[in-house]
Amino acid sequence: MSEYCVCLITASSPQEARNLAYGLVESGLAACVNRVPQVTSVYSWMGKVEEAGEILLIAKTTSTHLQGLIDKVKELHSYDVPEVVALPIVGGNRDYLRWIDESVR
C-alpha cells in the first residue's frame, strides 16, 4: 500500500465544499484540498439514474490518516453516502510528499 493518497470527494454546493476543505485541513487530516467547481455527476441512486452539479474536492493525505479523513467527511457532509475514493500516490516530488507528512497529524 502506498504511503500517500489522493482522495476524491464531491460536495453539493460551494459552501459545503469550503466547509469540508477547511474541516479536513484544520483537523490535520489533509495537507491540501483543491476545490474544482462545476462538475456534473451522473450516478445511480435508489434505482434511478440521477444528474447533479457538484464541486469536486481533491485531498492529499497519508494512508494512515485515510480512515480519519473518511470519518470527518461523513460527519460534515450533507449526503447520506458521501463519495470518498482514495487513489494511491505512487510517486512525486519528494519535497511535496515530505510536506504532506509534516502537515498531516
For each of the chain's 105 residues, which pLDDT tens digit applies? 579 999 999 999 999 999 999 999 999 999 999 999 999 999 999 999 999 999 999 999 999 999 999 999 999 999 999 999 999 999 999 999 999 999 998
Give Cβ neighbours of residue 61 (< 8 Å, ≥ 6 apart). 4, 5, 7, 24, 29, 30, 31, 69, 100, 104
Query: How many structural domains are present in the chain?
Result: 1
Judge whether 23 and 97 are in contact, CB under 8 Å: no
Distance of CA 77 to the CA centre of its chain: 11
**Per-residue confidence (pLDDT) for residue 62, from 0 to 100:** 97
Rounded to whole angstroms, the Cα distance separating 62 from 17 reads 21
**Per-residue confidence (pLDDT) for residue 1, from 0 to 100:** 55
**Per-residue confidence (pLDDT) for residue 58, from 0 to 100:** 98
The pTM score is: 0.94
Domain coverage including residue 91? 4-103
**Per-residue confidence (pLDDT) for residue 105, from 0 to 100:** 85
Give Cβ neighbours of residue 12 (< 8 Å, ≥ 6 apart). 52, 54, 55, 78, 79
In degrees rounded to 5, what are phi and psi of residue 48? -125, 155
CATH number for the domain spanning 56: value is 3.30.70.120
